Amino acid sequence: MSPAPAAPSADAEARAHLSVLGEPGDGALGAMVGALGAPRALELALGSAPLPSEAHAAGLDGAALADGRRRWQPRRGDLGAALADAARVGAALVTPDHPHWPRRVDDLGPHAPLCLWVRGDTAALVAPAAVAVVGARAATGYGEHVAGELAAALAAAGITVVSGAAYGIDGAAHHATLGSGGSTVAFLAGGVDRAYPAGHQELLRRICAHGAVVSEVPCGSAPTKWRFLARNRVIAAASDATVVVEAGWRSGSLNTASHAAALGRPLGAVPGPITSSASAGCHRLLRTHDAVCITGADDVLELIGESTATAAVPAGPEPGGDQTRVRDALSVRTARSVDEIARRSGLSAGAVQSVLGLLALTGAARRADAGWTAVSAAG
């Protein structure tokens, strides 16, 4: 578990203060810290002294410093409240000198997080292998089903599942990982002292108990559109690979995928029915971003160079059982509605829709005007 809290170093204190002053991924702050160290960068950010020569050598100039000071200095008094909020919820401050700093994020260079605020087990940040499973908030039953199966199998193989705690695919991945007894890490766009989305308050509580809830913005910070986009780069950087399960043409998950590709991280995408707008973004990744087609956990393990022998489905109901029941309820000649298939199979309509999506993907079922039909082995 996390080590006992210790008095923060001067570097850690400065990084905490800088995380209050700047927005996530602030390249000017990151370059200053890289060139001068966090304490001197903080002094320079809050002062009026000219840029020292070693900062010039790092590519900074006086104009960038002046512009930055206009952004940073109005926030100079906000550190106390952030530290108080962190203490109230038991959030740990993790910086590069912490034993559980995730070295993967250093690949972001000057745009890397200055520090991370963490609730839960900080050791979850340094898992030997981690995979981001992300996708649409407005996910279909098919997408949530696939995300859950992938996450559960990855958890059973000892892989930490990383995501963003949003509704839809993110939530399905976190839930399935926890249900399989695995470790999961949720990166938030706001402070870790507030549950966002509010409907995932209980999920986030469980993640804190069996993984970590993480943010690079301090406690008290609200999630904003920009912070969601900035958060995506950290999800990609903190993972050995990113898998997009379901995404529309303009889904924010494509932003995470782009960061993964830019970092040279392996990228996978789960295909869906060609008629589904919810999978249009995944098909776009397969066409234009050299994403690997993901049809199961073995594909993901191969993506990160792990043995596929460990990708056994966790103990529980046989996942193929529902597919067998739905196939038995289908007819080759007569199209049947979802409700009729549910009645014949003894499954819920939602479960039937999820299974039909999988069967359509494998070519075992076909949507017709009046419902669904089975596809015979002869085609």
pLDDT in tens, 91-133: 999 999 999 999 999 999 999 999 999 999 999 999 999 999 9
The contacts found for 204-208 with CB under 8 angstroms, 24 or more apart, are: 204/165, 206/178, 207/120, 207/165, 207/174, 207/178, 208/119, 208/120
Q: Which of 260, 276, 310 finishes a domain? A: 310
Residue in 23, 29, 27 with CA at minimum distance from that of residue 44 = 29
> Is residue 138 one of the residues assigned to a domain?
yes
Phi, psi of 20 (to 5 degrees): -80, -40
Q: What is the pLDDT of residue 58?
A: 67
Domain count, the chain: 2
- pLDDT at residue 232 greater than cutoff 70: yes
Residues 175 and 292 in one domain: yes
Residue 137 has pLDDT above 80, yes or no: yes
Average pLDDT for 59-66:
84
Report the CATH number that the domain containing residue 342 is assigned in CATH.
1.10.10.10
pLDDT at 208: 96
Dig out the tokens for 7 from the structure: 């008095």
Q: Is residue 295 located within the same domain as residue 325?
A: no
The helix (H) or strand (E) run that includes residue 133 is strand 130-134
Characterize 32-57 residue by residue with b for buried, 16 or more Cβ atoms within 10 angstroms of its Cβ, and e for exposed: bbbbbebbbbbebbeeeeebeeebee
Q: What is the mean pLDDT of residues 35-40?
A: 93
What was the pLDDT predicted at 264? 93
- Looking at 276, 310, 344, the residue that finishes a domain is 310
Does 3 score more than 50 pLDDT? no
Residue 331 belongs to what domain range? 319-374
Residue 220 in this model has a pLDDT that exceeds 80: yes
